[in-house]
Amino acid sequence: MPKVKTNRVKIPEGWELIEPTLRELQAKMREAENDPHDGKRKCEALWPIFKIAHQKSRYIYDLYHRRKEISKELYEFCLDQGYADRNLIAKWKKPGYERLCCLRCMQPRDHNFQTTCVCRVPKHLREEKVIECVHCGCNGCASGD
């Protein structure tokens, strides 16, 4: 058999510092995936998934863009390995989307009348104050509140 080139991951420095947190978050995600669906609505069962995905991405985004504690190499490594969502972080860099909950909520193509999800509306402009958006269970991710 010809020699098959495999890609071996080269872990950059600084990985040991962030690894424990990332492992914890992964475990949390595993738990959420295996949770039974009893007593929950169909959409409600998916909310923890979105929440934890947001949390993971948030952690890495904070480390690199806000606190600047990891190197670019490590940051790219995390994104490539799937510890954070690149597209979601891209949105967080834009003004007005700093607290975006998930990518579905701001996609007009996914909604009737080409609007966004209600969680994107600031609380002072909404009529109902307490909401849980149907996609990700978000309470309100407008940048103002």
Partner 1 sequence: MAHRLLRDAEADGWERSDFPIICESCLGDNPYVRMTKADYDKECKICTRPFTVFRWRPGRDARYKKSEICQTCSKLKNVCQVCLLDLEYGLPVQVRDTALSIDSNDAIPKSDVNREYFAEEHDRKTRAGIDYESSFGKARPNDTILKLQRTTPYYKRNRAHVCSFYVRGQCTRGPECPYRHEMPVEGELSQQNIKDRYYGVNDPVAMKLLSKAGEMPSLEPPDDESIRTLYVGGLDARITEQDLRDNFYAHGEIESVKMVLQRACAFVTYTTREGAEKAAEELANKLVIKGLRMKLLWGRPQAPKLDSEGSDEAKQQAAVTHSGLLPRAVISQQQNQPLQAPPPGSQTQPPPVPYFNIPPLPQHERAYYPSMDPQRMGALIPSQDGPSGSNENRGGSEQQHQQAQQYGYPSMAPPPGQFYPPYYQQYGYRGPPPPVLPPNQQHHQQYQGPQGRMPAGPPPPATGTSQQP
Q: Which residues bind partner 1 (CB under 8 A)?
A: 39, 112-113, 127-128, 130-132
Is 22 or 131 the residue whose CB approaches partner 1 more closely? 131
Minimal distance, residue 79 CB to partner 1, in Å:
34
Minimal distance, residue 129 CB to partner 1, in Å:
8
3-class secondary structure, 81 = helix
Is 97 or 132 the residue whose CB approaches partner 1 more closely? 132
Minimal distance, residue 46 CB to partner 1, in Å:
16
Is 89 or 121 the residue whose CB approaches partner 1 more closely? 121
Residue 54 CB neighbour total at 10 angstroms: 20
- C-alpha to C-alpha distance for 48 and 31, rounded to whole angstroms: 10
Is 40 or 93 the residue whose CB approaches partner 1 more closely? 40
Please spell the DSSP secondary structure of 11-80, one letter per residue: PPTTHHHHHHHHHHHHHHHHHHHH---TTS-TTGGGHHHHHHHHHHHHHHHIIIIIS--S-HHHHHHHHH
Minimal distance, residue 99 CB to partner 1, in Å:
19
